[in-house]
Structure 1
Amino acid sequence: MGYSGHGFVVAEAAIVIGMNLVYYADVKESTINPFHLEYLGFEGEDYFRGWEEDFNYVLGIGDNKIRQKLAHLILSKNKEMVNVIHHSASIATMITIGKGNFIARNAAISPLSEIGNFCILNTGSIVEHECVIADAVHIAPGAVLAGNVTVGERTFIGANAVIKQGVKIGKDVIIGAGSVVLKD
């Protein structure tokens, strides 16, 4: 679901880990189709044929609010969303992870962390021990969450931002690229 910039990154990772991608859905048919997928249409239209098929769904939408809204639509249709976890990601065994997440190339998640649903942990991001990431969060490339950080729903943490251990970030927050966050 979604087939532009972020969707291309997710599609490539899905293919690398052996998923069989055949279709994509988006607002309109893409003029760029690097993975030669068949266009299913737009999921918001009544005639969207994807709801009638027995597919697993992959989220390729970068915008947190749109991704969460689409995920809820998929769930309302009793469809299954799968995680795409790049094989180069380093993930501890003692974590909790929801559905519909994308964990990119070289991302790292340390023990006792909790990742909600519909999240993006982008390229080279680091989530240290005991972090709690709510639904629909996007942690951009190179961002670092030190231990025991809590991040609220739909929050965006910009590229190369650093969040000090123990900090609590609310929902719908935007942390700018390169920021250093020392307080809640």
Structure 2
Amino acid sequence: MNNIIIIGYSGHAYVVVETFESMGKKVIGYFDTEEKLQNPYSLKYLGIENQNNIEILLKNYDYFIAIGDNYIREKVYEKLSFKEKFAQAIHTKSIISKTVQMGQGILVAANVTINAQTRIGEGVICNTNSVIEHECILKNFCHIAPSATLCGNVEIGFRSFIGANSVVKQGVKIGDDVIVGAGSVVLKDIPNHSKVVGNPLRFL
């Protein structure tokens, strides 16, 4: 289906809209908590995302949750029916191995590289210029920020965030709900619910 509805419409959504455009798809409207004064893509406001009419529209259109916050993105997804209509936004300027497994609702932005035998869950964001090397596992609703690098066999837990320009060493396992600050170098496993930053890495 070439027409897409997005849920959420702010800065992250602009990347999503242009990613769909690269695929030859058109975003025709958006749901959000309010109509946006700033509407650079002239999208139609369709109402608040918890209104009953969202379910009616989603019978006829594919949709995408264009919300950068991992927790909110997951909550919105859990509320919605028609999970099979949860679109993938994969930029045509990304490089993806033919052996990669990808879940529904993922964003793969421009200039991303995803290498062999990697598995990506639902609602994951692989942001601009990030590198996900061979045999990585990215669990549902995590976010790999711009220019972050995951070396081979890295595992990223549910809803975790890997900050821009970070590097995660080969074989490292990062738990659920972890925040890795921008520019960090991660050389060892990180437990659930941790916040870490820096090089050398320190816990906050």
Q: CA deviation at 1:79?
A: 5.8
List alignment gaps of at least 5 residues for structure 1. none
Correspondence for 1:123: 128
Is 1:55 the equivalent of 2:55? no
Correspondence for 1:114: 119
Deviations 1:47-103, CA, capped at 9 Å, x for gaps: x422112111112100000011111122x3556101000000000000110000000
Q: What's the TM-score once normalised by structure 2's chain length? A: 0.86
Correspondence for 2:39: 33
Q: CA deviation at 1:32?
A: 1.0
- Cα separation, 2, equivalents of 1:24 and 1:34: 13
Q: CA deviation at 1:144?
A: 0.2
- Cα separation, 2, equivalents of 1:121 and 1:78: 20
Q: 1 or 2 for the larger relative contact order (CA 8 Å, sep ≥6)? A: 1
Q: Which of these residues, 169, 188, 204, is aligned with residue 183 of structure 1?
A: 188
Deviations 1:3-31, CA, capped at 9 Å, x for gaps: 00101110111122111211111111011
Letter of the aligned partner of 2:151 in structure 1?
A
Q: CA deviation at 1:42?
A: 1.2
Correspondence for 1:134: 139
Calculate the aligned-residue CA RMSD, in Å. 1.1
Q: Which of these residues, 80, 91, 98, is aligned with residue 86 of structure 1?
A: 91
Correspondence for 1:145: 150
Deviations 1:133-158, CA, capped at 9 Å, x for gaps: 00000000000000000010000000
Q: Could you list the structure 1 runs, at least 4 aligned residues long, displaced by more than 6 angstroms after superposition.
A: none
Correspondence for 1:173: 178
Secondary structure of 1:58's counterpart equals strand
- Cα separation, 2, equivalents of 1:59 and 1:102: 10
- Cα separation, 2, equivalents of 1:26 and 1:124: 28
List alignment gaps of at least 5 residues for structure 2. 1-6, 190-204
Letter of the aligned partner of 1:37 in structure 2?
L
- Cα separation, 1, equivalents of 2:25 and 2:32: 19
Is 1:96 the equivalent of 2:101? yes
Q: What's the TM-score once normalised by structure 1's chain length? A: 0.95
How many percent identity over aligned positions? Answer: 45
